[in-house]
Amino acid sequence: MSDLPLDDLLDRLVADYSDKLLAGETPAHPEILGQVPPEARPGLERCLKMIDAGMAQVPGSQALARGARLGRYELLREIGRGGMALVWLARDRELDRPVALKILRPGLALEERHVDRFRREALAIAKLRHPHIVQIFDVGTEAGYHYLAMEYVEGPSLATVLEALRPLSPERRTAEAFARLAGAPSLAPRGASLENVAAGLLALVAEALNAAHEHGLVHRDVKPSNILLRKDGTPVVADFGLAKAEGDPALSMTGDTLGTPYYMSPEQAWLTDVQVDHRTDVYSLGVTLYESLSGRRPFEGETVLEVFEAIKTQMPAGLRSVSPAASKDAAAVVRRAMARDPERRYAGAAELAADLRSLAQGSPTQARQQEGSSLRRAWSLLRALFSGHPFEYRSQRTFLGLPLVHVITGRRWPGQKARAAKGWIAMGDIAYGGLVMGGLGIGAIAFGGIALGLFTWGGISLALLLGCGGIATGLLSFGGLSGGYLAFGGIALGYYAIGGFVRGVYAMGGNADGRYVITEGREDLTEEEFWENVFSFLG
């Protein structure tokens, strides 16, 4: 196997195959297919068959190099690449100006759906005229290559700046550091905080997105790498390749991807043919604000599917819990922009832009004013908690290695395993900690189908002191099957026992046996005498 990334390897193999056919050779498919992992072979074989049938024109392997020409553009150097396209700095020979030439990968050009997405980006941007949306100059095809000629933005992307900030200690993650890494010192006026600078920059992004939304376009892939910074520090929104008109059928995972997982909205993360509207861009910009201020993304995972699941079910750690320097207003803006329910987000990017401008100026935000008191926010959290939808919250703060709160509620999907919650206050299918509630609860105070602890309530309850459950064992126990010093239950075993079937020194029930008994068909003691003895013993 080659050491090249898979995308690059596929491009090279397709180009080499085309070159050999043009040279009169007939390379064997198995030999080529054996150079890629098994999961990539069906797609590669389909491409080779299309080339054999003359259904596709593939560029030669040596075409993309410094000095090569695509139409009126002369390639200077490669400046970026991704799974979809390569980006070259090029010179427009007619207008003598630099352009960013985005070139669809040769292997992808064989499938019409990828070419359609490429054209869609050109059409989407062509509708827009905004100072903070990248301009498109030209679109064309040359020698089998599909390309877009766009405005060349000299500065770095926001992703590059945030990646450089990430390893810095909190006290060094300043507005000055941000501006220096962006190559634009004017971004950080004297006395400005990182929050002021990031919010001011993202306010311009929100205004650009609002302009797209007013034209009926949803970007659907808002993320730091698609926010480019000019030399003066002003942002430009790029890569409208996933943009769709509102109301168009959504693209699913069986077609184009829906966006970068870390920044996807919950409605995108469900990976179904669900329609998304402009509020998905609001959510993604909220994630970008969270990362800009905290130095971390709100949702992570070992795999893409783990990230999807986190977005769908978990509440992100509060902004101020991971970044104490963030203001309460910033935390409120993040909460509103990232609300799981689109109805609870900002109604549009213009509203988000207004609050971001307030943050940039250090003024109160509408998000915080509308959010209300801490009690009201807690009520909103409880509504989400008991909505029946999948929900998970894990507090950032810990004690002795356990989060203070870990809550998992809501329906499980078919086949999903029991979900474990671990925390000083924990609730889940299985719960461990101090005060716990779950199908299986283990803790000092436990509620659950099976509960183990000092004080317990559950279907099966084992307690040192107090147990209440379908099956309860403890010093004082209540349950369908109960065993303890003082036991109440359908079946009760204990020193004091009250139930349908009971055995004890003091026994009262439908079928009771003991020293002092009150039961159907037999009454050795009156009720008064029975309890007089009980109280006498307890006293």
Dihedral (Cα; 38, 39, 45, 48), 10-degree rounding: -100
Query: For the sheet containing 420-478, what is the strand order?
Result: 314-315, 391-394, 405-409, 420-478, 481-519, 522-523
Kindly give the pairing relationship between strand 145-150 and strand 217-218: unpaired
- Choosing from 221, 256, 281, 429, the catalytic residue is 221
For 261, 474, 499, 523, the CA distances from 496, given in Å and listed in that order, are: 59, 12, 10, 16
Q: Which SS3 state, helix, strand or coil, does residue 264 take?
A: coil
221 catalytic per annotation: yes
HSE-CB for 276 with a 13 A CA cutoff: 31
Q: How many residues are recorded in the chain?
A: 539
Give the separation between CA 433 and CA 441, rounded to whole angstroms. Answer: 8
The answer to whether the beta carbons of residues 506 and 516 sit under 8 Å apart is yes
Tokens standing for residue 376: 């009201």
Tokens standing for residue 250: 């959504």
HSE-CB for 307 with a 13 A CA cutoff: 17
Work out the angle between the directed axes of helices 349-361 and 194-214 (0-180°, nearest 10): 160
The answer to whether the beta carbons of residues 199 and 356 sit under 8 Å apart is yes
* E-state strands within 167-276: 217-218, 227-229, 235-237, 244-245
Give the separation between CA 385 and CA 184, rounded to whole angstroms. Answer: 44
The answer to whether the beta carbons of residues 236 and 153 sit under 8 Å apart is yes
The answer to whether the beta carbons of residues 395 and 405 sit under 8 Å apart is yes
Kindly give the pairing relationship between strand 227-229 and strand 314-315: unpaired
Give the separation between CA 202 and CA 186, rounded to whole angstroms. Answer: 16
Please identify every residue annotated as catalytic.
Answer: 221
